[in-house]
């Protein structure tokens, strides 16, 4: 698989792996910290957004990939997957928002948005290359 | 859109990977164009035409 990837895709995948490794460490550290301590004032806010920073890096890496990719077909596949993820997440978020606000559906934390986005993005990455334009 | 990439490759005994290397794209991209799953942009169509030393309309057509 690695040898089939374009140089831009390889760079993106390396950045992605690094970001996800940082995400796992930050998330586990935060869970442990907030369970055993009670961070105060500014530290509380900084520690709270810590796991989100590598996710921001993932989005930035996608942007860098789209700018660096010279293979137009590969870039088109990535753009389509991003749109599937983004569109699907917006639809689910808006439907759930109304269900929550008007019908008393249970509250879902906003950070699940990125999980849903990654799931839909991944589905599109897996299945789109076999679709017909 | 239809194309004659497979025939043109066969005439030159090129694999998809060979053509991809000449075009500076991935083998998957050549496969997608060749099988009609992806219509190339005008710049890529010109590069393909240049690699085969043929006019674009000798490679791509609207009718089979």
Q: What percent of chain A has pLDDT over 70?
A: 95
**pLDDT number for residue A38:** 84
Q: What share of chain B is helix, strand, coil (3-state, %, to 5)?
A: 60, 5, 35
Q: What is the pLDDT of residues B1-57, one digit of tens each?
A: 899 999 999 999 999 999 999 999 999 999 999 999 999 999 999 999 999 999 999
Residue B12 and residue B63: Cα distance in Å, rounded? 24
Same domain, A85 and A54: no
B60: how many CB neighbours lie within 10 A of its CB? 18
- B44 contacts on A by Cβ (under 8 Å): 72
Q: What is the pTM of this model?
A: 0.86
What's the mean pLDDT when you consider all of chain A? 92
* Pairwise CB contact (< 8 Å): B38 & A131: no
**CA A80, A86, A92, A95 torsion: positive or negative?**
negative
Same domain, A31 and A43: yes
Q: Does A6 reach chain B within 8 Å, measured CB to CB?
A: yes
Boundary of a domain, candidates A18, A39, A70: A70
Same domain, A76 and A133: yes
Note the ipTM here.
0.89
**A31 has pLDDT over 50:** yes
């Amino acid at each position: 698989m690695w040898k089939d990837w374009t140089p831009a895709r390889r760079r993106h995948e390396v950045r992605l792996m690094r970001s996800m490794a940082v995400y796992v460490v930050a998330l586990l550290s935060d869970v442990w910290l907030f369970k055993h301590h009670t961070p105060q004032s500014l530290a509380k806010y900084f520690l709270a957004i810590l796991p989100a920073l590598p996710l921001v890096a993932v989005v930035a890496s996608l942007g860098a990939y789209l700018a660096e990719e010279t293979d137009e077909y590969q870039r088109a596949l990535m753009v389509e997957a991003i749109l599937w993820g983004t569109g699907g997440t917006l639809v689910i978020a808006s439907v759930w928002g109304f269900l929550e606000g008007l019908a008393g559906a249970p509250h879902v934390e906003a950070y699940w948005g990125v999980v849903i986005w990654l799931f839909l993005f991944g589905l599109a990455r897996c299945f789109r290359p076999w679709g017909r334009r | 859109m239809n194309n004659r990439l497979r025939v043109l490759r066969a005439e030159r005994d090129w694999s998809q990977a060979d053509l991809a290397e000449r075009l500076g794209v991935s083998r998957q991209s050549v496969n997608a164009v060749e099988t009609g799953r992806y219509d190339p942009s005008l710049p890529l169509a010109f590069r393909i035409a240049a690699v085969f030393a043929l006019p674009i309309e000798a490679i791509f057509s609207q009718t089979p």
